[in-house]
Amino acid sequence: MSLTFAIIGCGRIAQRHAEQILKIGKLVAVCDIDAKRANEMALKYGANAYDNIENLLLQEYDIDVISICTPNGLHATHTILALQANKHVLCEKPLSINVADAKKMILEAKKADKKLFVVKQNRYNPPIAFLKKIIAENKLGQIYSFQINCFWNRPVEYYTSWKGTKELDGGTLFTQFSHFIDLLYWLLGNVKEVKATAKNHAHPTIQFEDNGAVIFEMVNGAIGTLNYTVNSFAKNMEGSITIFAEKGTVKVGGQYLNELEYFSVNGIETPNLPLGNPANGYGFYQGSMSNHDKVYTNLVLALQNDKHEFANGDDGLKTVEIIEKIYAQK
């Protein structure tokens, strides 16, 4: 399948998308309200440049998939426009920054009979994929409890433009740690109740928390915690999930959920897993692991086969629901 793509939003993450699109299809057009940035990206990747999404959708009528790489608070608007133009959509995380918008996006996809996918790249980290497999096969038995740690660094200089605003960023759980919330749902199911607290200690210019703590009770009876911060001194420290279960204990850790740090499971030897991809480097800070190669490989498979598992709008909605539930406790 040879697919044609457009990218809306020409910031840093858009470069990751463009690199992978060229491996599986053709990047036809890019769009950014900053015309200079759009032109630079278009020149680099051999695409047409636009500074208005409506003009792009009007003129580039034969595009198959639109990749949405704009600020969080614009995901819903841009996704809905793309779906109404009869395009499939791959939306960067988070799907949106409120449940109401996420539901509108899903409804528009159904109306258009088009696919709405969301980037959930940490699902492809080798130790996470292995953990998902043994949970699905009931190798751990009953899950008793869990602990999720997200200890990263975001300096004050990181928060420029839309970052740090409630309107376009939404909060630390949306921008930095929504992948962890996705894994909570993907591995352990629905959340029943949450209790949470959060504060801003070191980032006076932003409009929300820079650290927080959450207690969960899951529908399946498991209890657990999420501790998160962007105040780890000078660099990212840890991204981890530990599961305590009837038949074993497993910790996936490292800086980016990329190492099997502890494994003791009844009847299973510690696996020899492949190395994951390196983290996204952005100069003075690092993002999460770069699994966009696997995202685009699975996007193609999901378009070819409706039964192929790939994170869709409903998965994205679950993340938004859980984060909204946490923030309601603040």
Domain limits of the chain?
3-118, 122-286
pLDDT, tens digit (0-9, with 9 covering 90-100), for 137-149: 999 999 999 999 9
Mean pLDDT of the chain: 95
pLDDT at 1: 58
**Does the pLDDT at position 53 exceed 80?**
yes
- Whether the per-residue pLDDT at 57 is higher than 60: the answer is yes
pLDDT for 274: 86
pLDDT for 82-141, tens place per residue? Answer: 999 999 999 999 999 999 999 999 999 999 999 999 999 999 999 999 999 999 999 999
Give residue 28's pLDDT. 98
175 within 8 A of 72, measured Cβ to Cβ: yes
Instruction: Average the pLDDT over each of 69-78, 163-172, 243-252, 278-287 and give the range with the smallest value.
Output: 278-287
Tokens encoding 275: 């190395």
Residues 245-283 pLDDT 10s: 999 999 999 999 999 999 999 999 999 998 776 665 555
pLDDT of residue 281: 56
Confidence at 294, pLDDT banded by 50, 70, 90? very high
Q: Give yes or no for a cis peptide into 94 (omega within 30° of 0).
A: yes
Domain 122-286 listed as CATH 3.20.10.10: no
Angle 219-222-225 from CA coordinates, rounded to 5°? 110
List 242's β-bridge partners, or say none: 147, 251
The pTM score is: 0.95
Q: Which of 234, 295, 230 is nearest to 93 (CA)?
A: 295
- Residue 216 pLDDT: 98
Q: Are 241 and 223 in contact (CB under 8 A)?
A: no
pLDDT for residue 290:
75
How far apart are alpha carbons 269 and 125 in whole angstroms? 19
For residue 78, the model assigns a pLDDT of: 98
Q: Report in angstroms the alpha-carbon separations of 155 from 72, 176, 257.
A: 20, 13, 21
pLDDT reading at 229 higher than 90: yes
Asked if the model's pLDDT at residue 165 lies above 60, the reply is: yes
Percent of the chain with pLDDT over 90: 94
318 has pLDDT over 60: yes
Q: What is the pLDDT of residue 230?
A: 98
Average the pLDDT over 34-52 and give the result.
98
C-alpha distance across the termini of the chain, in Å: 47
| Residue 284 clears pLDDT 60, i.e. is over it | no
Residue given tokens 């749902």 in the structure block: 185
Residue 143: what are its φ and ψ, rounded to 5°?
-85, 120
Angstrom distance (rounded) from CA 274 to CA 251? 16
CATH class of 3-118: alpha beta
pLDDT at 291 over 60: yes
The reported pLDDT for the residue numbered 308 is 98
Residue identified by tokens 């497999």 is: 133
Residue 121 three-state SS: helix
Dihedral sign, Cα of residue 156, residue 158, residue 160, residue 166: negative
pLDDT at 275 (0 to 100):
76
Is residue 330 predicted with pLDDT exceeding 90? Answer: no
CA distance 169 to 150: 18
**Same fold across 3-118 and 122-286:** no
Residues 142-163 have a mean pLDDT of 97
